[in-house]
Structure 1
Amino acid sequence: IDQWNKIIEQLGTPSQDFMKRLQPTVRNYVENRPKYAGYSFEKLFPDVLFPAESTEHNKLKGPKARGDQFAGAKDHGKFPLAAGVRTAGKASQARDLLSKMLVIDPYKRITVDQALQHPYVNVWYDPSEVEGPAPIPYDHSIDEREHTVEQWKDLIYKEVVDYVQKLLYGKLPLIGNSASGETSPYTPGYVELLVTTPVAP
């Protein structure tokens, strides 16, 4: 309850359309709370909270400074950008994205796909990451098993090799572990370096 109160104090009391979709007991509580107008996102997230425009890395500059496609791109879906955001600096872009994400009503909140097209994050958009297969759920039972130090090394080695193969070559069978003497038709040299090279403290 305290969390809800803190949220509406900052973002404002949600609309009646949202209230109507709540369960009766919840709606009764929410409607009897004080009404809050909320604060502007300029006050909630002032420029000082964001890093300055980069003078070295092109992707971290505003779209106008980069001269890229975002400066003239059309708005995405039903969530048009605020006036000037297409050509604004990173602070204004970040604030605009936050204002669309931090919306109490889920029907009015920006979707993941729409957020990925927003200029603040779109410069790092990589279709292979977004459209790639979901990671396999981690098997927590492995943490409950008893293993020697050498067995743990072997398991970690196989996990690294398996990840690198999937990353570079797609779904391939796990290659052998040269550390344990197993043979394999292909063992990436850089994986050997990754696993065997000591890391400086």
Structure 2
Amino acid sequence: MVRWEPGGTERLRMAALDLYVRQGFEQTTVAEIAAAAGLTERTFFRHFADKREVLFNGQEVLEAQFLAGVAEAPDGSSPLDLAAAALAGSAGFFSEDRRAWSRRRQTVIGANASLQERESLKMATLAGSLAAALRDRGIAEPAATLAGQTAVTVFSVSFATWVEDDETRTFPAIEHDVLAELTALTAATVQAPAAERPTV
């Protein structure tokens, strides 16, 4: 019987990412990942369903932090306030010691269409979960869906900025700046005279 190795998940994640960066995601096999981590293929599949999940493992933790932010927001919060609360709840997931991993992970995803599709599905699922949480807080449609999508958009832009090579701001600081810019843009659009607004 194969022994459950302590720290096996992290060893497999690091070994897989090294191989994905060096030789490509499609070219890397589970056997190679397991061997590089000093483990067996059977042990790999105890930790991950397939080699894609090495890159997407932890999605449920991130979603839980978004939803906790919504749940903990004060009564009477507006849809945008709830979106901001969700973003604040998620920010702790992206500590500075995670940035190097995230940069390399994003390089791998950016080079593979199927991984990009998986990432898009992850974001769509998150937006749907947030919209449901907002509805549970009494936010009607379409405001709940718009706010959920807004939170995910701000998150996506913030994450892309955070993993840039020359970026040094913390993730919470970037989210704050991106949300402030979106809020200013929305306010400017709402205040523009009707004659200046584009027609559909």
Interval containing the TM-score (normalised by the shorter chain): under 0.3
Looking at CA atoms only, which structure, 1 or 2, has the larger radius of gyration? 1
With a CA cutoff of 8 Å and minimum separation of 6, indicate the structure with the bigger relative contact order. 2
| TM value normalised by structure 2 | 0.27
More helix by share: 2
User: TM-score normalised to the size of structure 1?
Assistant: 0.27
